[in-house]
Structure 1
Amino acid sequence: MRIYVPCSFALIHNPQSRRNVKTGLSASDVLRALPDLLFCAPETEAALVAALADIAPRKIKYLIVDGGDGTVSKVLSVMHASGWPKEEWPVLIVLPSGNTNLVAEDVGFGLRGEAALKQLALLAQGQMNKCSVVRRRPLVVSWPDGSHVSVLGFFGGLGAFTRGIEIAHRPGFLKTFSHEAAVICAFLLTVLKLLAPHSRKKWLDGSAVDVTLDGVPAESKRHFLMLFTALRRFPHGVWPFWQRSDSAEQGVVYLDVAAHPERLTTAVFNLLRNRIPSWIRQSPSYNSGLADKISLRGEPLLVLDGEILQTSPEGGFEIEAGPEVSFLQFSKKDD
């Protein structure tokens, strides 16, 4: 029989996250601020599974995730695949320390490093009231043939989005730039490829994917771009979907751009500025909506929170809204 020492906090620290490599918290720093915290720094997926298996029976109140989008995705995926009852999941505190931090932009704690430790120490002492809990339902991506364990995440896509991420993940990009800068460079390179005659047609032809939205087949059979999200906010106010951002709690918010879309340059300019003029809404090239379940058949690759997923030999993915997850956010505003 194992006896677990009660604690309110556990921390999953990703030592390989880009910001942690440069200015990450050490175990001594964390334990000095939170002496009763359970500190874990798993370097492999197997180690992460073991760490969360040790954390689950302790019934902690807060799970701190010190990493980027990929780390948050892996933590939730392991929790989901385990026998950890969903109603007993702790509140997550996300410290933005990764290559990409879209999740932290929406539901993150808002601080990292020493500033975060200072506030967390106050929280442990019951002296911090500048915080609130927000809830999201992450995307659950599954393989219809059951060849892989389902994974959870918050932002994904295919088509041109996958090609752009593949460019951003090239060793030359990641060695030279931060991930955010690499994504920007990849976006610019994508624009150049769309302008170049020899590559324009290949990109605009899109991907041959049979898309089913809540059992209803999509009109388009080839897709230049598809995006899916469970987030409510993107950086810089970008929101390229028709639905209000709070619709994400009701299902999967998506954007589907057909192959060879009309007025693509003008549409991108509007979507990036959070403007959806009537001609885009009425165009058969563009479709945005909310679905409980999205089925994809024929697409070999899908990107979820910056990670490229490969389909099984039979092909296909299914995407649906997952269990509700709570996140703690710190408010910098004075009471």
Structure 2
Amino acid sequence: MRLALIHNPRSRRNRRDGAAFAATASTWLGEAFLQPRSHDELVTEVETLRERGVDLIVINGGDGTVSDVMTTVHHVFAGASLPHLAILPSGNTNLIAGDVGFRERGLGALRQLIDSPEKLVATHRRPLRVSWPDDEYPDRLGMFHGSTGYARAIAIAHSPHVLRYAPHDLAVAATLLGAFGGLAWRKRRESWLNGDPAILSSHDETIMDGQNFLFLATALQHLDHGIWPFWRQPIDPLHGVHYLSIAARPRRLIQATFALLRGRAPDWLREHPDYRSGCAETLVLDTPGDFVLDGEVIPSGPNRKTLLGLGPAFTFLQD
């Protein structure tokens, strides 16, 4: 396979030990070792990879880097066969790598990819595709989406104090606990509990209409440490977006939190009107606030609506 590596020197782990990796990887790969400094530079370099016939792109970074590369590949390779992807976990959050990426990182992982890619496991997955009505913005690909209370809590979960002391693979747990922990502060409690106006629908059927405390959606099939705040999984992981919607002022919130962080959904939770979870091919979310896609805060747009569906199928190589 013709291989190229996209290295993000600004990701959390690469800031700590990425210089030595970059020096050796650039010697091994030559012009196939890339360090784009901007989105425009990333687009130009991916266009070059397509011209060269590269069919395996290794991503050394976190969730935000993976999302940017998937989105760029999606647009640049439109109408052509997509290259395989391999993810080395080196970011602030590595939820994507935890599901479809490498366990090992660094030169050992890169050596496997160079010497024997045929011995690796191939996993097929369709990421989330976020788009806007009337093509207000270019569509984006990612794996983990959150809005309303999640968008508030992401600022807490991504604060230097949390990132310094919390393991990267507990990002979802830290964010959820941040959302619920914010209720301990009197000044926040009322506004957070009251939520944000939101309408969630699928195929013209309304799932939720009212004030929303927290909304999550993902194309991942696995989170570390048994955390899984969703239920009703699809038979085929290529044909569904998992979602969780929690109404404003939710009852039994503490019990629900501990159940979901342990990957459990007891009968009372599945039947409770304040908690809605499912799996759908497409979702329409109408809410005025920003949302978060793989750690990046993105505006919902002037029409407040975003469309959540499935992007093209990628093949991820894993060790």
TM-score, normalised relative to structure 1: 0.87
Does 1:47 pair with 2:41?
yes
Does 1:208 pair with 2:201?
no
SS of the residue corresponding to residue 156 of structure 1 reads strand
Verify the 8 A CA contact 2:211 2:248 in the aligned structure 1.
yes
Verify the 8 A CA contact 1:281 1:287 in the aligned structure 2.
yes
> Which amino acid is 2:73 matched to?
M
Inter-partner Cα distance in structure 2 for 1:179 and 1:49: 31
- Structure 1 segments of 4+ aligned residues over 6 angstroms from their partners: 181-185
Does 1:226 pair with 2:221?
no
Alignment of 1:1-335 (within 5 A): 8-24=2-18, 25-34=20-29, 38-82=32-76, 84-85=77-78, 87-123=80-116, 129=119, 131-170=120-159, 172-173=160-161, 180=168, 188-244=177-233, 247-330=236-319
Q: Which has the larger radius of gyration?
A: 1
Verify the 8 A CA contact 1:229 1:248 in the aligned structure 2.
no
Structure 2: gaps (5+ residues): none
Inter-partner Cα distance in structure 2 for 1:183 and 1:213: 25
Verify the 8 A CA contact 1:214 1:291 in the aligned structure 2.
no
> Which amino acid is 1:112 matched to?
R
Structure 1: gaps (5+ residues): 1-6, 331-335
| C-alpha distance 49-221 of structure 1, shift in aligned 2 (>3 A) | same
What percent identity do the matched residue pairs reach? 38
Q: Deviation string for 1:214-267 (max 9, x for gaps)?
A: 221124411111110000100101112112376542121111111111100001
Other-structure match for 1:3: none
Q: Deviation string for 1:159-203 (max 9, x for gaps)?
A: 211111023345x54785578388766655544431344422211
Inter-partner Cα distance in structure 1 for 2:210 and 2:15: 44
Inter-partner Cα distance in structure 1 for 2:72 and 2:175: 30
SS of the residue corresponding to residue 109 of structure 1 reads coil
Verify the 8 A CA contact 2:88 2:103 in the aligned structure 1.
yes
Deviation at 1:78, TM superposition (A): 1.2
